[in-house]
Amino acid sequence: MRLALVGFGNVGRRFAELLRGPYGRILRRAGVEARVTGIATARHGSAIDARGLSLSRCLRAKSLHPLNRERPIGSTLDFIRRVPADVLLELTTLDPKRGLPAVRHARAALERGLDVITANKGPAACELRPLLALAGRKRRRFLFEGAVMDGTPVFNLVARCLPGVRVLGFRGMLNTTTARILSGMENGTSFEDSLAEMQDEGIAEADPRNDVDGWDAAAKGCAIANALMKAETRPTLVDRVGISEVTADDVRTALRMRTRIRLIVRGERDGRKVSVRVAPEALPLDDPLVASEQDGVLILETDLMGEIGILEGPSGVDQTAYAILSDLMALIESGALLR
Amino acid sequence: MRLALVGFGNVGRRFAELLRGPYGRILRRAGVEARVTGIATARHGSAIDARGLSLSRCLRAKSLHPLNRERPIGSTLDFIRRVPADVLLELTTLDPKRGLPAVRHARAALERGLDVITANKGPAACELRPLLALAGRKRRRFLFEGAVMDGTPVFNLVARCLPGVRVLGFRGMLNTTTARILSGMENGTSFEDSLAEMQDEGIAEADPRNDVDGWDAAAKGCAIANALMKAETRPTLVDRVGISEVTADDVRTALRMRTRIRLIVRGERDGRKVSVRVAPEALPLDDPLVASEQDGVLILETDLMGEIGILEGPSGVDQTAYAILSDLMALIESGALLR
């Protein structure tokens, strides 16, 4: 199984490290020897080697260019068209409003007849129906378990463990950066200090607007609505309120009323339309959505099973890398290699 | 697909009702027409009809005997040996300490070459390794998703959505009867009054010792340890403390320290041995295990994915019936019918 990586940041590098260890062993037990035949990056060069790149050299290299065994690689789209691969792993950083450039990469790879796995929420949030239709026409798979809650099963949970169940709606606390800011305010730390602390720890991005203004939560909500409720929505259509106007006073008043304010995303069906909303809400202390600021929690409301929740503990790059492995295993089990 | 039911109480009857409606449609979409060829009960007679019993008549009948089309049926084991079926659905009520009579029924059906699905925790809690070994020898499946948290995926979650992941340990709040008693005590209701209220509602059993003394939690813990951590334990080996000695004073003191007392089950590996413990514990208010007394919560500690939690909202007989459907679908997908 020949893998091509687009993006070689924290997630791509961690995936490569684990592919040399436990992930490689898991794939071999499933009868698959995986090799990475190409890596494209925006700022550290790109390389293609049909016999398989040395991952240890890729992980050490400042630029990938010297490892390239083919004629020089132009744009990322040029890479996607040329790389000798079976599966494209789309691991770039994202504009959550429009899903770019991930959508463009996924589309180009599917057009060419590759299976596509992404750890990005963009494609599922912005363009899921067209991408699934394209994959269907090409008899390829488009998988995106990492779009929401990293490798914690959300999409696979419904597809593989809840046969026949319809998702009627959902509510989630899916953005831990805002949860930590709000939790800090409960304890007297200012909005700005909490944010600066997380930026120091590398948890929050330098530009916090994706989190604070609710774009991240909106994109995750759209991915869930599109994938599990057959919606055709996108982040720009979400009724979205961020947390920038929540004051320390609001947070303390909520606590006095035995509630906590968190940035909550909800999806519900209204006739044929599915709407996604993101807003700060004061929820009772015993709601699982507000239990811990470190955990992401998603509650699915279903027809046959009532409420089912899934919870992701404190997470980092390992959990995102696992999403890719779990999609690779789904690809293998679906017989993608037997075509 | 010919189904035989052993036990026709609340769960069996609800399954039969749903089989006439949504479950039947889900199975037909998967290419399977299911018919019930036999039902055995302890006190309301038994019936076998190779052409398929009329479920509406079974649901209305006071005794099943008049519906029997074969020679008179003796014991349940006689029924299991004779019923013309592909799958046995084991739905009896349970002695959680020894897993009887469910273990005996499962064994007899596997010996005869039937696939077995149980909604009982007994077989998985008391005899999982021998039953799986027997199923392996007979090339049949033994499935038990309903043993813990009803139809909420626990065993299928790990088997189907977390490939390669090892479960290192777990903690759970899996008994909502004790949670409601303790929560009532937080609000000033006595132990006895809470219990009586739940008995009136039909939530707690007339004999509350299975819940209060921790046998129910111990059996669920053993099922999880045996299935997900390859343990070979059983409820009588569990280090088990119930909640009967928890006082109103204890509960209020815990609350003042911003904790709540709940009956918690934990599993952990100690070298080659896996130990399961059940005891009342005071956990911080922001622990997902104590969030709501209505929800069952299980947190798995894993090697590759850190902590993953699964939550079941308020549940009843529908959720247990769904466990059987989900195991039937797993059986169908595993190609059991193609043998």
Chain A residues with CB-CB distance to B291 below 8 A: 286-288, 291
* Strand order, beta sheet including B2-6: B46-48, B35-40, B2-6, B87-90, B115-118, B142-143
Which of B29, B149, B161, B183 should we substitute to test contact with A (largest number of A Cβ atoms within 10 Å)?
B161
* Domains of chain A (ranges, CATH numbers): 2-152+318-338 (3.40.50.720), 161-314 (3.30.360.10)
> Which residue of chain A comes nearest to B334, CA vs CA?
A333
CA distances from A79 to A113, A328, B71 (A): 14, 21, 73
3 state DSSP class of B186: helix
Nearest to A212 by CA among A196, A189, A233: A196
Tell me the shortest Cα–Cα distance from B200 to chain A, in angstroms. Answer: 23
**Interchain proximity A153–B162, CB inside 8 Å:** yes
Tell me which residue in A152, A287, A304 faces B322 most closely, judged by beta carbons.
Answer: A304
Q: What tokens appear for A111 in the block?
A: 């057009």
CA distance A267 to chain B (A): 18
Tens digit of each residue's pLDDT (9 = 90 or more) over A236-285: 999 999 999 999 999 999 999 999 999 999 999 988 899 999 999 999 98
The first and second tokens of residue A26, run together, are 């898991």
CA proximity to A76, closest of A107, A54, A31: A107
Q: What is the pTM of this model?
A: 0.94
Cα–Cα dist B99/A216, whole Å:
48
The Cα diameter of chain B in Å comes to 66
Minimum Cα–Cα distance from A330: chain B residue? B161
Please give the order of strands across the beta sheet that includes B259-270: A239-240, A273-284, A259-270, A167-173, A296-302, A307-312, B307-312, B296-302, B167-173, B259-270, B273-284, B239-240
Q: What DSSP line would sit under A217-233, residue for residue? A: HHHHHHHHHHHHS----
Q: Which is more confidently placed, B97 or B325?
A: B325
Task: Find all residues with CB under 8 Å of B151, minimum gap 6, and list them.
Answer: A304, A305, B145, B319, B320, B321, B322, B323, B324, B325, B326
Which tokens go with A4?
């091509």
Of residues A165, A291, A309, nearest to B286 (C-beta): A291
- What digits encode the pLDDT tens for the residues B187-220? 899 989 988 888 888 777 777 888 999 999 999 9
Tell me whether the omega of the peptide bond preceding residue B123 falls within 30 degrees of 0, making it cis.
no
The Cα B158–Cα B326 span in angstroms is: 14
DSSP string covering B87-154: EEEE----BTTTTBTHHHHHHHHHHHT-EEEE--SHHHHHHHHHHHHHHHHTT--EE-GGGTTTTS-S
- The pLDDT of residue B339: 44
Q: Which residues of A touch B304 (CB under 8 A)?
A: 22, 151, 318, 322, 325
Predicted confidence band of residue A209 (pLDDT cuts 50, 70, 90):
confident
Q: Do B163 and A329 touch (CB under 8 A)?
A: yes
Q: Do B152 and A305 touch (CB under 8 A)?
A: yes
φ, ψ at B221 (rounded to 5°): -60, -40
Nearest CA distance, A100 vs chain B (angstrom) = 28
Reported ipTM: the value is: 0.93
For residue A29, is pLDDT > 50? yes
Q: Mutate which of A305, A328, A329 to disrupt the B interface (most B C-beta within 10 Å)?
A: A305
Kindly report, residue by residue over B9-52, the tens digit of the pLDDT: 999 999 999 999 999 999 999 999 999 999 999 999 999 999 99
**Out of A288, A295, A315, closest to residue B292 by CB:** A288
Nearest to B285 among A164, A285, A305 (CB): A285
Query: Which chain B residue is nearest to residue A21, measuring alpha carbons?
Result: B304
> Is B308 within 8 Å of A307 when comparing Cβ atoms?
no
What are the tens digits of pLDDT across the range A148-171?
999 999 999 999 899 999 999 999
Dist CA B231 CA B170 (whole Å)? 13
Are the CB atoms for B154 and B174 separated by under 8 Å?
no
